[in-house]
Amino acid sequence: MEFITAKELSESKNKFIVLDIRDEDKFRRNTVPGSINIDIYGDIHEGNYGAVMEKLNALPKEKEIVLVCNTGSTTQPACQILESMGYRAKVLELGMVGWNSFVKHGHS
């Protein structure tokens, strides 16, 4: 499993599919610009990995996926699931906390 920093992501966003796995409400309030939302947050916490795989199966495999959650911890099992399905994936280090800190300091 690989991690990517907010700075690295901001410098190469077009290279990735940015996937926010939080619920729709959190996604609507604040997310990495250009990201898509598939809510698997609760499924991960409940251990419902079959549902996670079903929801993520529609993602294209030609681009690497960067996973985003609140702090980067819930995306780690999601990243492992994607990798087991043949995807290339990374975790946004510190999730939205890291992204918001990066943006707050004048970057984006």
How high is the pLDDT of residue 108? 57
Do 2 and 91 meet the contact criterion of CB atoms below 8 Å apart? Answer: yes
Q: Is the pLDDT of residue 13 over 80?
A: no
Residue for token digits 């079903």? 54
The model's pLDDT over 35-94, given as tens digits with 9 standing for 90+, comes to 999 999 999 999 999 999 999 999 999 999 999 999 999 999 999 999 999 999 999 999
Task: List the domain range (segments joined by +) for residue 45.
Answer: 2-104
Question: Six-digit token pair at 24?
Answer: 């729709």
The pLDDT-based confidence of 107 (bands split at 50, 70, 90) is: confident
Alpha-carbon dihedral 105, 24, 18, 51, rounded to 10 degrees = 140
CATH of residue 45's domain is 3.40.250.10
pTM for the whole structure: 0.94
Domains: count for the chain: 1
Residue for token digits 């994936």? 89
